Amino acid sequence: MTQYHYESTQYHQEPAAQAYQHQPQELAQQFAQRFQLLAGNIERIIRGKHEAIELALICLFAEGHLLIEDVPGTGKTTLARSLAASVDAEWRRIQFTPDLLPSDITGVSIFNQAHQKFEFHHGPVFANIVLADEINRASPKTQAALLEVMEERRVTVDAEPHPVPRPFLVVATQNPVDMDGTYPLPEAQLDRFLMKISVGYPDHVSEVEVLKGMPTGPQVERLPVVARASDVAGMIDFASRIHVADPVYDYVVALCAATRTSPHLRLGASPRGSLALLRAARVKAAAAGRHYVVPEDVKALAVPVIAHRLILSPDAELRDVTAAAVLGEITAGTPVPQAA
């Protein structure tokens, strides 16, 4: 029988707006406790990668999607599976291959002889957490099948919309090496991902712990469930109401506007990038136990949220300049609002 490690919080027991109005700081601290409980549960499997785990959880509570790009064997798929195992919600894994069809993801309408009508059979995308493994190995046509559902959280088949459940998170992985037979994600689809991160190699101590724990150590299948889908939905609603002061709004816009005028960039961040950065900053503030966003929340998330949305100029590409480096210069040069 599934055992939950905590009771439902107050924002599930009374109207969300009323709960937030009464005790915003107390609820923010509760959010932080639940957030760290989930992070700690995932860290039982993914050792020494606290930052990557926190970013993945921020994506979940910001109602965004996550793209993990790294070399084989660093735990990309395991991170996604551990997150799914920690939440009592439906999850599906889709292995992207060159012969995968869009209908293999979204579903298909099949004629029912008995009822003399077409019936829609849901595809694997109709889950709370969807792992799109090696997404760059599928054709662009198949990759595009995710565009609508990632942005609008619904699938339209035969002019009929079919909403996906809430919460809904797509965790896609891709391998930056061995690029034969792969199809790079187009900019329009990259922009649908709230963040792009890498897991990276573990440090020496963490890798030793992994070796010592095999084969009897923690496994994904044995991870306890520490949150319900309804709990996650309540936390999402709470995070969306975290207070943002006017100077912080100005700071977000100033950062994104600076990417549009940088001589190192051919394409800067769109307003969707500004919205994504703000949503992620709200969750980071709540995860820190605050009911308000500070500029440091925005600055800390600028690279994972914005860098993959930028297109370098030809000159910058020739000089091997990275989007993350350009964004680092922009954040360093953009004045940070000071507390009154």
Q: Residue 169 and residue 60: Cα distance in Å, rounded?
A: 6
What's this model's pTM, rounded to 2 decimal places? 0.87
Q: Are 59 and 194 in contact (CB under 8 A)?
A: yes
Q: Tell me the two tokens of residue 315.
A: 């000159």
Question: Tell me, what's the pLDDT at 144?
Answer: 87
Question: 50-61 vs 229-239: helix axis angle to the nearest 10?
Answer: 80
Residues 310, 190 contacting (CB under 8 angstroms)? no
CATH no. for 13-241 = 3.40.50.300
> What pLDDT score was predicted for residue 273?
94
pLDDT recorded at residue 42: 93
Q: List the one residue out of 339, 69, 323, 72 whose CA is nearest residue 195.
A: 69
Q: Tell me: domain 243-340, CATH 1.10.10.10, correct?
A: no
Residue ranges of alpha helices (H) inside 226-310 are 229-239, 246-261, 271-287, 295-306
Q: Provide CATH 3.40.50.300 ranges for the chain.
A: 13-241
Q: What span, in angstroms and rounded, lies between the C-alpha atoms of 60 and 83?
A: 9
- Spatial contact of 257 and 278, defined as CB atoms under 8 Å apart: no
Per-residue pLDDT, 77: 85
| CATH 1.10.8.80 segments of the chain | 243-340
- State residue 116's pLDDT score: 76
Dist. CA 284–CA 289, nearest whole Å: 9
DSSP annotation of 242 reads: -
Q: Nearest Cα to 147, choosing from 272, 234, 232, 51?
A: 272
Identify the pLDDT of residue 218: 56
Strand-strand pairing, 311-312 and 265-267: antiparallel
Task: Identify the helix (H) or strand (E) that includes residue 5.
Answer: none
Residue-level pLDDT, tens digit, the chain, 340 residues = 333 333 333 334 344 444 445 578 888 999 999 999 999 999 988 888 899 999 999 999 999 999 999 888 888 888 888 998 999 888 899 999 999 999 999 988 887 787 778 888 888 999 999 999 999 899 888 888 888 888 889 988 878 888 999 899 999 998 877 666 788 888 888 899 999 998 888 888 888 887 877 655 557 888 899 998 889 999 999 999 999 999 999 999 999 999 999 999 999 999 999 999 999 999 999 999 999 999 999 999 999 999 999 999 999 889 989 999 999 999 999 998 876 5
Tokens standing for residue 217: 């150590």
